[in-house]
Amino acid sequence: MKLPLDGIRVVELAGLAPAPFASLLLADYGASILRIDRLQPHAPGSISPPPTLDLLVRHKSSIAVDLKSRGGIALLRSILCRVDILIDPFRPGVLESLSLAPEDLLERNPRLIIARLTGFRRDGPYANMAGHDINYLAVSGILSQLGRSEEPPYAPANILADFAAGGLMCAFGILLAVVERTKSGKGQVVENSMADGASYLGSMMRYARKTPLWDQPRGENYLDGGCPWYDVYECKDGRYMAVGALEPQFFRGLVKALGLDGENLSAAREDRARWPIMRDLFQRRFREKPRREWEDVFAGSDACCTPVFDQQELEEADYEQRPPIHLRRSTGLPVESKEAWASSGLSPGAGGVQKLHEWFGWNIGRDFKGVEGGGLIKVDAAKI
């Protein structure tokens, strides 16, 4: 079966989190990925350096290139003349400092799509500042809405800005540019700010501030932990059940399954003054049974109550990890069991020489060569 992105060649400049995730999404649906790594020192006598910290390496290959050398830049520029997509994870100005300005690259390869991932906006007050996921959430306004009442805002690891607002949005932008290229025949620069991506993800949260859904302080609303029927509860064994019984019919199912029919909770569920009492009832009731028993109670029901599984449990149960989108006619690559729960990483240089031959018919010694430290350079840089 032909994969939807078969034939698409992607160069990923090595980074962490958002850029590797964007290319992983493309790779899982058939794109061919070559990661460009920096030169990595390795132990004397070893064949190759150890894997980098990047864990999102499924279906990828790598070459190491000295981006400070003329021959290294010449090799990379020659590659970029022949591929479809470049993913740039660097801060503003880095590509230009390497003599790889997007304008020059597009002049050499008008079909090239250059995806540029930044944390902050390129034109804002934070443009030249370093940052991480929590900072991009902070300036987008989203972080201020996350967390419990009367506690500091809480960042949910780095999944929102790095992966949802960064990598996922970047892959979406790339695909938009690929679709547009089928009409114009031309590539373009795709700008992806994680701060803007986070703000966009939070559109509903932002609008809801002007409605009863989210018009209270942080942690006192329906979906942010303020509402007792949209929260997580501890069971007798220290494990947890997640409750999301927002609609009245689901709430009635929850109350019935908990054996609280006689408490007249449905009539008072919109009375915020009663929420603390209701939460206390739920807490005490969930603590009466271990999670396994509550799973049986709610199995097959419409009470919107499910167990909170940890990753170890799922791994031990051989839970099947699947690609996020299934296309019936041209699906993605399956997530093999050996890749579902651990990553073996990718060493700089792993599979890259073979990839260059597969893509362009290039051979080591004739078109490029290795240098001390494990990097590759163009054989005749003067022609580039």
Model-level pTM?
0.93
Write the pLDDT tens digit of every residue in 357-371: 999 999 998 999 887
The CA-CA-CA angle for residues 379, 54, 85, to 5°, reads: 55
Catalytic residue among 162, 310, 367, 380: 162
CA atoms within 13 A on the CB side of 79: 33
240: how many CB neighbours lie within 10 A of its CB?
A: 18
Non-local CB neighbours of 202 within 8 Å, separated by 6+ positions: 140, 141, 142, 145
Token pair of 168 as six digits: 């996922």
| Residue 44: DSSP 8-state | T
Q: What Å distances lie between residue 16 and 3, 37, 196, 339, CA to CA?
A: 26, 12, 19, 18
Total residues belonging to the chain: 384
Q: What is the dihedral of CA 152, 156, 159, 160, to 10 degrees?
A: -50
Write the pLDDT tens digit of every residue in 78-112: 999 999 999 999 988 999 999 999 999 999 999 99
How far apart are alpha carbons 91 and 126 in whole angstroms? 11
Note if 88 is an active site residue: no
Burial class (CB in 10 A: 0-12, 13-18, 19+), 306: middle
Q: Per-residue pLDDT tens, the chain, 384 aa: give them.
A: 789 999 999 999 999 999 999 999 999 999 999 999 998 765 444 467 889 999 999 999 999 998 888 999 999 999 999 999 999 999 889 999 999 999 999 999 999 999 999 999 988 899 889 999 999 999 999 999 999 999 999 999 999 999 999 999 999 999 999 999 999 999 999 999 999 999 999 999 999 999 999 999 999 999 999 999 999 999 999 999 999 999 999 999 999 999 998 778 988 899 999 999 999 999 999 999 999 999 999 999 999 999 999 999 999 999 999 999 999 888 899 999 889 999 999 999 999 999 999 999 999 989 998 876 678 989 875 444
